[in-house]
Chain A
Amino acid sequence: MSAYNSAGLPELIQGCLKRNRRSQELLYKQFYGYAMGICMRYSGGREEAKEIMNDGFLKVFIKMETYDTGRPFKTWLGRIMINAALDHYRKDLKIKIVDTIGEHEVPVVNETITGELTCEEIMSMVNRLSTAYRIVFCLHVIDGYSHEEIAEKLNISVGTSKSNLARAREKLKIMLSKQGSDDYARMAR
């Protein structure tokens, strides 16, 4: 099936252009993992991620005419998913975050423990970040956007973007250090 699907991506796109439901389903299945992965890192949980992803795919199917076949479909799809996530959380981005990180706190990470974490566990730490931190962290660190681009996309200042990123990193380090100490304590028991 995968061989057929990968070979038939242009056909699937043609089918989607003609609003063929079966083609839409096959395209959805083929890129589900990729799209869901993007949405899960930007969202606070799986249900939210599913909602964002389906909104994104709806845009894909409706606006398939705008897709330039000369460019990679996966990149275009990823961009749409990111924009769907930003649209979903746009209203939350303006909320001012009150940090609880102590200035004197220096997180220490146990590399042995972090090596045993699954990717789901690692990404769940990102999900636990506040929306503003999570979005900036994902945009900059994972998807490679510059602070200027992030500032433009989120309608915030470059300074706010940098600040949010720094605080997101600190929070993640603390989570990792806590994860390590909890696991260490569990192993010691």
Chain B
Amino acid sequence: MQEWPDDKLDEFFRKASEELNPKFEPDDWNDLKKKLKQVAEQGSQWTRFRTWFVLLGGFLLMGLAVWYYFPKETGHEGKVMLVNSGLPDSASMQTAMTPEPVSDAGSDHGENRMTDRTQRILSGKEGRSDGDVEMRQTRVGKISEKFAVNEPAEDHMGLEASEISGEQPVTGLTEHSVVAEEPKILSRHSSDAGGVHSEPIRENNVERYGGTTIAPVADPELLPENRNPFYEESAKTIPAAYTDDSADVVVSNETAVVDSTQDGMQDQDKKPKPGARLAIRGGLAPEMNAVTFPDFSWLSLTGNVMIEYRIMPRLFIQTGMVKSSKTYCAFPGDYTWPDRWQQTVLPVSVDGTCQILEVPVNICYTILEREKANWMITAGVSSYRMLNEQYSYNYQRPDPSIRWYKWEGQTGWYWMSHVNVSAGYERKLGNRFSVVAEPYIKVPVRKVGFGKINLYSTGILFSVKYNIR
């Protein structure tokens, strides 16, 4: 019996603690497993919420971008011309101002005639009689008929129009008379608010709209002191453009953009009518699958039949069936080993082949509509039904304790297990048929299959669409 020094006591307890090795209690692991499941569920709920949030945000952003960008684009498309407008030198300006001698009435060119006539108007030598006005009104009727068949914009202006009418060529100035039937609607560029409204009747052009006598120097642009050299040069390139009030000209250092947008009424006439309300689609898609993004496997083929219904002019709801055979390779951690399979040696990889029936429900928005083509974006959710699952378990080396080398079966439905996002291009082949190419990606929001895997898919769907009504 003796008093122990501190170091001896410490050594005594240190040795005891090192020797302490409690035996494994399965209940302890079961308790931890429950905690891990709770944590995983909380995590997956957050992941699901985040996925939806990102998708919704992306969809809204795309919608906003479309809303801001495309209306302006469609207003300009097909009507914007780029004209090389290196600033004219004084000689060319002089050419534009000087009347050319008319040698032969039969070979008379509009450009010369216009210049000649402009000069006469500017010098005040050309008077107008009531007869002139009547004759011009007759021409107006004929030209208006031509406009009514939606000819290209350049055909509406200047000489060609008058030549078709078979009468005296109508110069740029007479083009004013064409629109003098009613107050002209300004292009969008002329409106401060970006809308379309009528040009106010000014002192200078009051005669054009209502009077029987038309002042020859009606347009202040034609006055020598107000004449823009660029306008003069443009007049050489596009004979009637400078006299068309609806033509907006933007001058930059090297190029000028001539916007010959016609009035808003014509724009509305050219807009494609909304498509059919009900349509059916069938197609095939080469597809790649992965259990870890973005490690996609080789291509497999999917087939689909979809029906779509237009609920708004540009908005469709789609549903249908997609039959696919997905092949993938999963590594430890990608899949969940079944709890009831008590096996100490785990496979190094699992090869899976699954026959899947997918039921998507999508919303499709047409972001750009053209007469012959449409661009659209689609988002939605899919439910998977596992029709047949085949798994082959690969082990590093053979072991007598291995009991599971393969598994085959089906695990049924996985509701709303995936989110679909796609962008598509539709080419119309006629009134009823069109073809669609649509790259897509399917992102899992819950695990599917016997191995509880996250199954990503991506591919391009090529389909034929038939408009039923």
Interface residues of A (CB under 8 A from B): 1, 4, 11, 14-26, 28-29, 32-34, 36-37, 40-41, 50, 53-54, 57-58, 61-62, 106-111, 114, 117, 119-120, 122-123, 126, 137-138, 141-142, 169, 172-173, 176, 180
Contact = CB atoms under 8 A, between A and B. Distances in A.
Contacts of A32: 22, 24-25, 28
Nearest to A39: B22
A107 B32 contact: no
Contact of B40 (A11, A19, A23): A19
By size class, the interface of chain B is 35 or more
Interface of B: 1-4, 6, 9-10, 12-17, 19-25, 28-29, 31-33, 35-36, 39-40, 331-337, 339, 344-346
Given A21-B36, A108-B2, A142-B14, A40 B333 contact: no
A102 to B, nearest CB: 15
B4 A173 contact: yes
Contact of B20 (A28, A37, A110): A37
Contacts of B346: 15, 22-23
| Interface residues of A, dominant DSSP | helix
27 contacts: A4-B344, A14-B333, A15-B332, A17-B333, A20-B332, A20-B337, A21-B33, A21-B36, A21-B336, A22-B336, A24-B36, A26-B344, A29-B29, A37-B21, A37-B22, A58-B35, A107-B4, A108-B1, A119-B16, A119-B20, A122-B13, A126-B17, A141-B14, A169-B9, A169-B10, A173-B4, A176-B4
A174 B60 CA distance: 74
Contacts of B344: 1, 4, 26
Contacts of A107: 3-4
A2 to B, nearest CB: 10
Given A20-B337, A22-B346, A142 B36 contact: no
Contacts, number: 124
A4 B396 CA distance: 11
Contacts of B29: 25, 28-29
Given A19-B333, A25-B29, A110-B1, A61 B36 contact: yes
Q: Which of B31, B35, B334, B346 has the largest count of A CB atoms less than 10 A from its CB?
A: B346
Given A54-B28, A107-B3, A138-B17, 8 more contacts: A1-B344, A21-B339, A33-B22, A37-B20, A107-B4, A117-B16, A119-B16, A123-B17
Q: Which of A40, A106, A109 has the largest count of B CB atoms less than 10 A from its CB?
A: A109
A24 to B, nearest CB: 7
Nearest to A176: B4
Given A15-B333, A58-B35, A172 B9 contact: yes
A33 B336 contact: no
Contacts of B31: 50, 54
Contact of A40 (B19, B22, B335): B22
Contact of B336 (A20, A41, A123): A20
A58 B36 contact: yes
Contacts of A37: 17, 20-22
B12 A122 contact: yes
Q: 5 tightest A-B contacts by CB?
A: A18-B333, A122-B16, A22-B337, A33-B21, A119-B19
B17 A18 contact: no
Nearest to B6: A169
